[in-house]
Each structure stands twice: as C-alpha cells, then as structure tokens.
Chain A
C-alpha cells in the first residue's frame, strides 16, 4: 500500500479523457461513477491499480479510468487479472464485465478464482442482454424472454450470479444498482477493501435492449436494502436464501462477508517463496540441477 492519505484523491482523479461509447442513460455511466468514488475513498494512486475487462459494452470501463487498464478478449478478464495479481501482489486489481462475459463465455473461470481466493474485486454489470451485438439472449435473461435470437421466447433458465458465487464459497458477495449510487459506491469500496476475492453484481439497465421492468423505475420497485431488512452478512446460508430471489427481488448491499477471511492466494505464495528461497542457488547455476555424479 502507498502511504497516501484518504483525502488526497477526488473521484475526478480516476476519470480518463476517453468519452464512453455507451448509449445515453446506460446504467454503466453510474457504475463508473461509483467506481471513481470508491477508488477516491480508498485513495490508492491510479498507477497502483490494474483494471481488467473482457469484451462487451461494460467491458469498455477500464478505459474510462486513469488506472492501468486492460480491455482484453471476451470472457477472459479473470485469468488475466489473476496473472497480474500473481506477478505483482501489491497492486489493487479490479475486473469488470457484463453478464455474458462473466457467466457465459467466461463462466468457467469464476469458480476457480473463488477457490484460489485471490485478492481481486470482480464487478459484473448485469443487464440480462447482449448489448454490444445488439440484443441477443444472455445467460441471465429470464426464461421466455423474447430477443432477436429468441423470437418465440427463451427456453432456458437464467444463471443466478449471486447463488453461483456463493455456492463456490466467495468470501464477499454483494449487489448494487444505479438506483442507489451512494450505496453502490460504498459497496464497491467495501468489496475492494475485503482481503480476498470479492464479487459485486450490479443491476445495470440496458436502455436500448432492456425491457421496461429492467429500467431504473422497474428496478426501484423490486429493490430492497439488505441492511434495512436486518440481514446478517456473516450468515452464508441466509445469504443463499435471499439470493434465490434473484430475478424477482433486487436486494442491495452485502449478501455475505466472511467474518474471518482466510489467507489469500497471494499470502500463500509469499509464504512458499520465503520458505524455498532459503536454499536458492543463483539462477546462473540452475543447470547444476542436472549434474549426474
């Protein structure tokens, strides 16, 4: 961590000069605002942050920050983020993308990041639709949803992102939405501060291809704050119960925070390096390993 104080940075210090490609009114504008605020509250200088994404409307987001950004390939933000974190554990590493990027083409990676518990924060902008390719069915689209690739309605159940990550044992699981920007900023801040893998699902409406019920007004009508409900975020089973209502209710706040965070992957790597470096030969002599006497 740098020695910088918490008041040194303002949200605007994390905003880049690139103009977002998003449609006017897109929920992702609020998400990037929430990220600026969270980063300013934490106060880490932008050059000590690596922000990785895949492909999709929302995956453009690293470019709109002043952090080191990596807008990579579809579905692979998490492997790249893990390589960055392993190569330089001192960085703050964020990953972000859409529901298709995270739960369809890249869906296989989440489970493994969770079981490795690397200290990475993953923000999914969940809009239940493929926006960049103009309105196809996504892994979180409701069954029956009509899109240009499901003219007669989807025949598949949606993925439940919250239950998915809770089931694999994520240490920090939360949900946010542009319906409450201050709450979103606070949730993202808490996620970044959590020492281990943290997941934030953001219900971010698609104004162009989203249905009426998924717009701000519709989301507000099904929204409920977990804190005001008296939910105990240390209770994983209660969190899983609440997460079952994904799609019907929009619970905002922290579903689960492991009260006793286990060592991160980075901690274990450091431990192993320290243990083994004691008997390290200089690398110039690595071929001595092959000497047969």
Chain B
C-alpha cells in the first residue's frame, strides 16, 4: 500500500490528458486525499504536446513530486518531449498505448529499466466501448482506478456532473470506457500492488484552485478595486478572474491596449485612492518598469504580480523559471527600493498576496509578487482557510487637522506621510515623476533630492525585521543549510525531510520577502553554517548573487541552480547535500590529522 503516488501523463493536444488530470485530482479531493496537479504544454495554441503531473497523498503535498510512480504515455513522441519534467526511474510503472506497436521491452526510454511496463490498447478500448477514441482519457482514469484504487466512484461522479448538460448518451459512453479501463486493470494486476491507502479525512471540505486564481481572490479579499493589465502567458488568468468577479465588489478592470497602459491605469487608480494592481510575465515586467519607477517616486501603493517564465524575451513562455529575480529587484532606473515577495505554493499565495497589498499600502510603494508558472498554473487541494486571521492594512490618510495646510510628502519619524486623493477637500497636491519637495513642488535641488531619496529608502528599514516573512525549518544550529524560495521551496522542504530522515543535521530558510534583502535574518541563519546551498531555478544563480551583494556568505555556501524546464527533484537536492556533508567531514578529518 502507498501513501503517496505521482502520476505523469502525456499525449497530444486533443487527447484530453490534462482534463483527465483534473478529473483525477478532483476525485482524489472528494475521497479526502491531498493533491497537486501541474500542467505543461508545448507553446502551440491547439494540438502539440500536452502533459500533466498529478501527485496524490494522504498528507499535505509540498510539491509536484520527484520521479514518477506511474507514467502514462498515449504516444511516445509527445511523452519524450517533456524530458526531465516527466522523469521515469526504476520504481516507475509505465503504462502506454499498445497501438504504438512498440514491444514492452523496447520502449524508447534510455538508461532506465522501469519497475513494470504495460502496453494497454487504450484507443481500441475507447473506440469499442464509447464509439470514439476521444474517450481515451476516460479509459486511462479507469486504469488508474483499477490499479491504484483512486476514484473508483468519484471519477465518474465528477464526469457525470461535467457532462450532464451534454446528454445521458455521452455520460453512458464515458461510463463504459471507464469501466473497461478498470476491468482491464483488475484483470491484469501489477506485479507489486500499488494501491493507495484510504484517506482518514474523507468527507472534509476541500478547495481546489491554482496560483493565478488564488492571487486574484486574495487581491479582492485585500480590498483591491482595480486591475489594469494586458494578456500574457502565464499570468493572464489573474485578469480573467478579475473580469469575472471584481464588479460584484464595486471594482473594475481595464484590459488595456498594452502592458504600459495596464500598469499606467493601475497607477492612476491608486492615485485616485483605490487599491489597485496589475499582473504580467517576463516581457511585460520589462515594459512596466518605467511606471514602477513612477509609482516609487510618487509614493503610490501598487501591487504587480509577475508570473515568471523562462526568459529573456519570449524565452520559454510556458515553462517555469525564477530568472526574473534581478529584474524584480532592480528594474526601473534610479535609486529605488521596491519590495519583492514570493509565494511558495497555491495555499500561501493567499497570504503572500494580502501581505503584498499591506506592504504596498503601509509603505506607499509598488510591491512585486514573484509568482512562477508552476505555482500559477498548478492546482492544489487546500483545506479551508480562515480569512478572519488576516489583517488588512489601508494607506495612512491625512486627518482633518493635517488637511489644513496639507503637505503630501511631509517628513515624519517613520518617513511615511499621510496620503490624500482626488475628491478629498484640502488634500490637493501635485504627484510627479520629477523630484519634488515635501509639498510636491518640482525641483532640481541636490539637497532636496538627497533628502527625499533618504525618505523613500529609509522607510523600508522596518520591513527587513519582519521575521514572519521568513520560514526556518530543521535544526537551527545545523552546519549544513539550504535557502530556497518560490516553487523550488516546496521541493526543498521535501528534501529537508528526506535528509533529516537519513540523519543529516541540516536546516532550510525560505524567504517570502526577497527584497530588500533582510541582512539580519540571513546573518543569524548563516551563523552556524559551514556548508550550504542557495537553490534556484535560474541559469545565473541569481539568488546566490543577490544574497552575496548584501551578505558575507560563509565560504562553503554555494549556488545550486538550473534554468527553466529542468526541474529539481527532491532527490537531486539530497544528493547535493550528501556531497557537501562528505566535504565537511573530510575537512574535519583534515583538522584532526594535519598533514605533514
């Protein structure tokens, strides 16, 4: 019996493999399991290759998992295009379409002997039972129900609901396809049973959503009333959610003519006194950088969600990467600090997005939320979130007394000035991108520029002491350490558990606040560290370099970085830790027995 199963399925666009993944995840949730589903496509609009990974577990799931337990290939060409995204190992059961006419001992996987390989006439069974090959995905779901014990009832319940409007005939055809798949599996038992154990939380309410929808819902919860944006993969769904829902809350959306106009309108809405936001991905972030600078100097609250994809330029538009880190921290010219936050899962996207609005409002600044394609597009099962635990912060408004002779950029002890907005009597001022004095009057004065730059940068000092924006797990005194953020953090959490299970003395720091770099938090963390890994999904080891700009990292701390579409597996990270540990032991031995 298994407590955790990772499925990876691939086919061509029309095979409905992603829709099968959706059905599997929903059925698992209905049966009380936790789950994560990620999708990966070629960049074709229709057709082309598509794949999904579904991880199902009896305990909360931290990431989409490592090597596949179960691989499903509707055809090998498409499956192989996903390479390291669908890794098969010696413990994988491989199920594939018999009509490919490839013998079981000749499947085109190089350098690996799977646990078991089974050719199944999937298309044939679909045609025979449902009258169409389009039911292939339902046959696959039947096979999974039969071999792994997930969704025997719940899958068809979900499909019934989904297809109800399309008529009983279609539902029945799918039922026959499902039953045929399940019967095939039951008639051909696996060499070693891989049934998942029953969940103890069956019947509990679960939510299922992805990172993009979650961030939009969080924004509305935080009081966001305006979204200005432009469609760009993989962030577009944030805008779509707004266009579906924000009107109900008295807000509005502008699908602008371009990325610049989208953020421009959001800047305008913020100036007008409303919480506002935009969302984008790589190239859009570049286009928006001038407006981000404007919002910084005009001290206007604004949230920018950047769903990272492979870059530069169009790069890998449908694959995840963390290489926008430098751009998020440093784009927009001039001396400026702009906070950057990053969620690590769909679940904590809710909290992170609310935090972004709170920081934007409190500090009167643009804030970037660095999501990534994996979190944005992956679906997670979530336990219900108690929204009453979240505090919502609104910008500091001038009092009646402050509106007598109002000074917009008044110097205060914490460098934060009460902010008025159009419509507020007594609060009129000039917002501007040009340097300005406390009153808002344009200036070229060096002394004013220095004073106001001080105000705009020093105001962020308290943010660096927000220890609640950092998560430290493992032994606090460990000599071995990891730092990871975003979607990579979930993989490292699992790697930490694996390493600890092997007896390693190791710890993990996950920053939700990436910038400004909280020197104090890192210095404390690294005090005990002799060897460590700064892990990210970039080619240039951007996180390592960003930290090294601000912190004297211990010599034994090094980057572990990979560019997009080359995912880390928890096992890769444990292996790297082993390597560091043996180095550490060797150096200790060296200390004990000095060489002559």
Tell me the A residues contacting B by CB distance below 8 Å: 18, 45-50, 52, 55, 60, 62-63, 66-73, 76, 78-88, 90-91, 108-109, 111-112, 269, 272-273, 275-277, 279-281, 283-287, 289-293
Contacts and interface: CB of A to CB of B under 8 A. Distances in A.
Interface residues of B, number: 69
B452 interface: no
Nearest to B268: A83
A20 to B, nearest CB: 11
A73 B228 contact: no
A286 B221 contact: yes
A73 B433 contact: yes
A76 B291 contact: yes
Contacts of A109: 257, 261
Contact of B290 (A18, A73, A78): A73
Contacts of A60: 442
Contact of A70 (B252, B384, B430): B430
A272 B214 CA distance: 23
Given A83-B269, A88-B422, A287 B264 contact: no
A88 B273 contact: yes
A80 B263 CA distance: 8
A83 B220 contact: no
B559 interface: no
B293 to A, nearest CB: 8
Given A46-B428, A47-B422, A280-B248, A87 B217 contact: no
A83 B272 contact: yes
B253 to A, nearest CB: 9
Interface in B153-206: 205-206
B258 A83 contact: no
A219 to B, nearest CB: 29
Contacts of B213: 290
B273 A292 contact: no
Contact of B425 (A45, A69, A111, A283): A45
A66 B273 CA distance: 18
A68 B294 contact: no
A50 B250 contact: no
28 contacts: A68-B429, A69-B428, A69-B430, A71-B442, A72-B431, A73-B290, A73-B293, A73-B294, A76-B260, A79-B228, A79-B265, A81-B268, A82-B261, A83-B269, A83-B270, A87-B274, A108-B261, A275-B247, A276-B247, A276-B248, A277-B247, A277-B249, A286-B245, A287-B207, A290-B207, A290-B213, A291-B205, A291-B206
B315 to A, nearest CB: 25
Contacts of B388: 284
A121 to B, nearest CB: 15
Contact of A286 (B208, B220, B274): B220
B422 A91 contact: yes
Contact of A112 (B256, B270, B382, B422): B256
Contacts of B265: 79-80, 82-83, 86
A87 B248 contact: no
Given A68-B431, A73-B291, A287-B385, 7 more contacts: A82-B261, A83-B265, A83-B268, A283-B220, A286-B217, A291-B206, A292-B207
A287 B207 CA distance: 8
B30 A84 contact: no
Contact of A91 (B30, B257, B270, B272): B272
A62 B264 CA distance: 17
A171 B442 CA distance: 35
A275 B228 CA distance: 21
A287 B218 CA distance: 8
Contacts of B17: none
A61 B492 CA distance: 55
Nearest to A76: B264
Contacts of A73: 290-291, 293-294, 433
Given A276-B247, A287-B217, A289-B217, A47 B426 contact: yes
B38 interface: no
Interface of B: 26, 29-30, 205-209, 213-214, 217, 220-221, 223, 225-226, 228, 245, 247-250, 252, 254, 256-258, 260-262, 264-274, 276, 290-291, 293-294, 298, 350, 382, 384-385, 387-388, 421-434, 441-442
Contacts of A283: 220-221, 223, 249
Contact of A71 (B26, B250, B267, B430): B430
A70 B434 CA distance: 10
A82 B257 CA distance: 12
Given A83-B226, A286-B220, A70 B257 contact: no
Nearest to A55: B433
* Interface of chain A, main secondary structure: helix
A292 B260 contact: no
Contacts of B271: 50, 68, 70, 80, 83-84
Contacts of B422: 47-50, 68, 84, 88, 91
B382 A87 contact: no
Contact of B209 (A46, A272, A290): A290
B26 A84 contact: no
B226 A87 contact: yes
Nearest to A116: B254
A204 B165 CA distance: 64
A172 to B, nearest CB: 21
A90 B294 CA distance: 25
Nearest to B26: A292
The CB with the most chain A CB atoms within 10 A, among B206, B207, B273, B431, is that of: B431
A67 B30 CA distance: 57
Closest 9 CB pairs of A and B: A83-B268, A79-B264, A83-B265, A280-B248, A87-B272, A87-B269, A80-B268, A79-B261, A290-B207
Given A87-B272, A87-B273, A90-B423, A292 B433 contact: no
B250 A273 contact: yes
Contacts of B205: 291, 293
A71 B425 CA distance: 20
Taking each of B269, B271, B291, B293, which has the highest tally of chain A beta carbons within 10 Å of its own beta carbon? Answer: B271
Given A88-B273, A91-B423, A279 B428 contact: no
B490 to A, nearest CB: 19
Contacts of B421: 68, 88
A88 B423 contact: yes
A290 B250 contact: no
Nearest to A67: B428
Contact of B267 (A55, A63, A80): A80
A23 B8 CA distance: 70
A62 B265 CA distance: 18
Contact of A68 (B29, B214, B269, B428): B428
A275 B248 CA distance: 8
A241 B83 CA distance: 63
Contacts of B290: 73
B360 to A, nearest CB: 15
A75 to B, nearest CB: 8
Nearest to A75: B260
B274 A88 contact: yes
A126 to B, nearest CB: 22
